[in-house]
Amino acid sequence: MEIAILFNPKKKGVEEIVARVFSFLKRRGIKVKFLKSASDFGYSQSIVKKRDFLKNTSLLIAIGGDGTILASSHLVEERSIPIMGINVGSLGFLTLFSPKSALPALNDFLKGKAKMEERMALRAFFRKRIFFALNDVCINFGPTLRAIDIFLYSRDKYISHFLGDGVIIATPTGSTAYSLACGGSIIHPSLSCLIITPISPHGLTARPLILSAEEEIIIELGEKSERGVLVIDGQKRLPIQPKERVKVSAAKGKVKLLSPEEFDYFSILRQKMRWGG
C-alpha cells in the first residue's frame, strides 16, 4: 500500500504530527510519499515527483487547515482517492480529524473500516482550460477595486444582470465558506446543487439562488465592465476581461473525505460556526 502526505509547514506543531503519522505508517510497512516541499523536513528519501505522487496511492493525508484540504482536492481532482484531513488550523471545517484521533482513524482505514463522505465539486471552463474546485468559483472585482458588470445564464437561458463586487458559484461544501459570508444559504454537504451568491450587489433584488447540479452556469462580464479576477477555491487567481465568459458545472466525480465514525454535521455547525446558538 502507498499513502501520500501533504502538509502545511507554516502551521505551528505540524512537524510533530507529520513525524507521528510517518512513523506509524512506516512501522506497518507502508510506502509513504511526499512532494519536494517536504525535503527540508527530513523526508528526502520519500520525495517523489508530482506525476508519481498519486500513482498507486490508496490515501492522501492532508495535515494543516482547510486550505490544505482544498490543495489536496486539486491534486486528486476526480480520481477515486480518499482524503483524510488532520486539523492543525484554526477553523478546520473540512479537516475532520484532530491530531489525537488521527492514528486510530488511520488504523481503521488500514483495516478497511473507514467511513467516507462524498462531496460534490465543480469544473470551471475558462480560456480553453479546465479548473477543479471543491468549495467555489468566484469572480471578484479587479485591480481598480470598482464594481463589475455581471451577466448570469443557465446554459442558454438568461438569469439576471447586476452591478457588484462579484459573484460566487459554490458547492454545498463551499456553502459555509465565502458564500456564507456574503449571505448565501447553508446547504447540507450530502446534497448536489449549485449556489449562486452575489457579492455586494448594487441593488435590492440580486439575492442568492440555488439551482440543480445538472445546470451549467455561465458568468459573463459586460462589455463596458471593469476588469475582474477569477478565483478558484481561493487558491488560483486569473484576470478576466470584459466580454469574457466562465462556464461552471458540477464535476463528474466527487471528492471522498474520510470522516470520524461519530461525525455529526450539525454539531460541527454549532461548534465551529456557532450556528443556532
Per-residue pLDDT tens digits for 184-241: 999 999 999 999 999 999 988 899 999 999 999 999 999 999 999 999 999 999 999 9
Strand-pairing partners, residue 6, are 62
Q: What is the mean pLDDT of residues 250-276?
A: 89
DSSP string for residues in 125-181: EETTEEEEESSEEEEEE-TT---EEEEEEETTEEEEEEEESEEEEE-TGGGGTHHHH
pLDDT digits 0-9 by tens, 122-166: 999 999 999 999 999 999 999 999 999 999 999 889 999 999 999
User: What separation in angstroms does the CA of 192 have from each of 187, 202, 215, 264?
Assistant: 9, 29, 11, 19
Q: Which residues are catalytic?
A: 66
- Quick check: pTM over 0.85? yes
* Measured distance CA(206)–CA(166) in Å, rounded: 11
* Measured distance CA(176)–CA(193) in Å, rounded: 14
* Positive/negative CA dihedral, 237, 129, 208, 175: negative
| Residue 215 pLDDT | 97
Q: What is the mean pLDDT of residues 259-270?
A: 88
Residue 277 has pLDDT above 70, yes or no: no
Average pLDDT score, the chain? 94
3-state secondary structure of 204: coil
Q: Which helix (H) or strand (E) holds 216?
A: strand 216-221
Residue 103: closest CA among 165, 18, 164: 18
* Measured distance CA(82)–CA(75) in Å, rounded: 11
- Percent of the chain exceeding pLDDT 70 equals 99
Binding residue positions: 66-67, 135-136, 146, 165, 235
Binding residue positions for NAD(+): 66-67, 135-136, 146, 165, 235
Model confidence at 82, pLDDT cuts 50, 70, 90, reads very high
Domains located in the chain, CATH noted: 2-120+254-273 (3.40.50.10330), 122-250 (2.60.200.30)
